[in-house]
Amino acid sequence: MKDLIHQAADILAHAHRLVVLTGAGISKESGIPTFREAQQGLWAQQDPQRLATMQGFLANPTLVWDWYQFRLRLVEQAQPNPGHRAIAELEQRLPHVEVITQNVDGLHVQAGSRRVLELHGNIRRFKCLRGHGGLTMADLAGQEATPPLCPHPGCQALVRPGVVWFGENLDYRILNQAVADSEACDVMLIVGTSGVVQPAASLPYRAWNARARIIEVNPQPSELTDLAHVYLAGPAGVVLPQVLAVMSEQ
């Protein structure tokens, strides 16, 4: 492992344009469960079709709203971990770093990363079914109804979490930027994703096709491990600080 950490540190130290692609695994050490890990993942215990689709929301809005409020409380209690902070530190050390995350917890920004693309939205933001976006819990305060109704004058449509559900399109501006950055990077660092959800899982292939060097950090091999030039089998909060420590020695 020591040699692999040195290889990863050497690749990162020479990166001109680094893209960091992250998934739920990087927030696991902050106390936020992942989705697909056996038994402990959220989808091991819950039906994503009932909780993370528009059909599920329309069939039972209160069930879905309450579940996202449960997840929001977990996020509000969570702090960035050494993995998030190591990525923010890379942005200080390297000429150009972009974080592309599938996570809706906002912990990368909280850790100090400034260039962050949130592919799947953010759990602290809300929108109504008529498209009034950018709502916060403060805008919805004082309402008994669950889910609350849109506060825009004359609207009163149901409010839903500002995240991307299965079967929904991503914001095309964010996706286009993520595709462009993945095709322009010379190094991609993949952290804590199973690599099964599209279109996020296609981004490493775009980097690979553009001859980028690919490093993956994950305790378990993922659908993307075959693409990795260096695979670091361990938790992000432990491995990433080790890589930065070696970068400091070099």
- b vs e for 49-61, b when ≥16 Cβ sit within 10 Å of the residue's Cβ? eebbbeebbeeeb
Query: Which tokens is 168 given?
Result: 């929904």
User: Rounded to whole angstroms, how far apart are CA atoms 12 and 245?
Assistant: 12
Task: Print the binding letters for residues 183-202 with ligand APR: x by CB under 6 A, - otherwise.
Answer: --------xxxx--x-----
* 30 counts as binding ligand APR under rule CB under 6 A: no
Residue nearest to ligand APR (CB): 25
| Site mask for ligand APR (CB under 6 A), range 86-125, x = bound | ----------------x-----------------x-----
Catalytic residue list contains 229 = no
Q: Which of 3, 21, 20, 19 minimizes the C-alpha distance to 193?
A: 21
Query: Smallest gap, in angstroms, from Cβ of residue 204 to ligand APR?
Result: 12
- Catalytic position from the list 108, 120, 132, 152: 120
- Which residue, 129 or 238, has its beta carbon nearer to ligand APR? 238
**Which residues, including other chains, have CB under 8 Å from residue 76's CB and lie 6 or more apart?**
none
Site for ligand APR contains 127 (CB under 6 A):
no
For the CB of residue 44, give the shortest distance to ligand APR in the complex, in Å: 9
Three-state DSSP state, 128: strand
